[in-house]
């Protein structure tokens, strides 16, 4: 396993949020540092008035079944998994500064789960040598 694991959240659909929650928590369980960089449409879901992430259009008909199945299997929602990951390990969430400017969002508009608003330079420098996934 690499030095750390980094997830770039871009698309903002519900499926990617679930993966992010699970992967963050697993990495924290294994003692692997995690850095999450939130950019693009995903950034909206990290604000204080965060909307519920939507499933992608092509899987819309499957979404109710998936939501029901998650409840049955006791899968927590992405926010709780990420919170748990942050409690268990070295997990940090950074919002993209340019996307925040584009959307007219200031530091105080973000949910406390976001550690800081930074530029991609800071993020890429801090995660040098980490595995990166873009979702």
**Residues contributing to the site for other proteins (CB under 8 A):** 1, 22, 25-26, 28-31, 73-76, 81, 84, 88
Nearer to other proteins, 29 or 98 (CB): 29
Place of tokens 């903002």: 12
19 neighbors 86 (Cβ within 8 angstroms): no
User: Which residues is 47 bridged to in the sheet?
Assistant: 110
**Which lies closer to other proteins via its Cβ, residue 81 or residue 93?**
81
CB of 30 to other proteins, least distance (A): 5
- Nearest distance from C-beta of residue 29 to other proteins, angstroms: 4
The CB-of-124 to other proteins minimum distance in angstroms stands at 27
How far, in Å, CA of 89 to CA of 81, rounded? 12
Q: Which is nearer to other proteins, 82 or 117 (CB)?
A: 82
Q: Given strand 131-134, what is the order of strands in its sheet?
A: 116-118, 91-96, 34-38, 5-9, 131-134
Asked if residue 34 lies in contact with residue 90, where contact means CB atoms within 8 angstroms, the answer is yes
- Classify 133 as helix, strand or coil: strand
Least distance CB 25 / other proteins (angstroms): 5
Q: Which residues pair with 5 in a beta bridge?
A: 34, 131
Residue 34 or 96 having the CB closest to other proteins: 34
Beta-bridge partner residues of 34: 5, 91
């Amino acid at each position: 396993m690499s030095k750390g694991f980094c997830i770039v959240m871009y698309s903002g659909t519900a499926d990617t949020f679930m993966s992010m929650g699970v992967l963050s928590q697993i990495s924290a369980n294994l003692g692997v540092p995690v850095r999450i960089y939130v950019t693009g449409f995903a950034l909206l879901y990290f604000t204080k008035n965060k909307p519920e992430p939507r499933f992608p259009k092509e899987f819309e008909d499957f979404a109710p079944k998936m939501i029901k199945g998650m409840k049955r299997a006791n899968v927590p929602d992405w926010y709780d998994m990420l919170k748990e990951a942050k409690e268990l390990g070295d997990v940090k969430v950074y919002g993209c500064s340019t996307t925040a400017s584009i959307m007219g969002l200031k530091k105080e508009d973000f949910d406390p789960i976001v550690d800081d608003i930074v530029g991609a330079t800071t993020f890429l420098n801090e995660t040098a040598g980490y595995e990166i996934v873009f979702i």
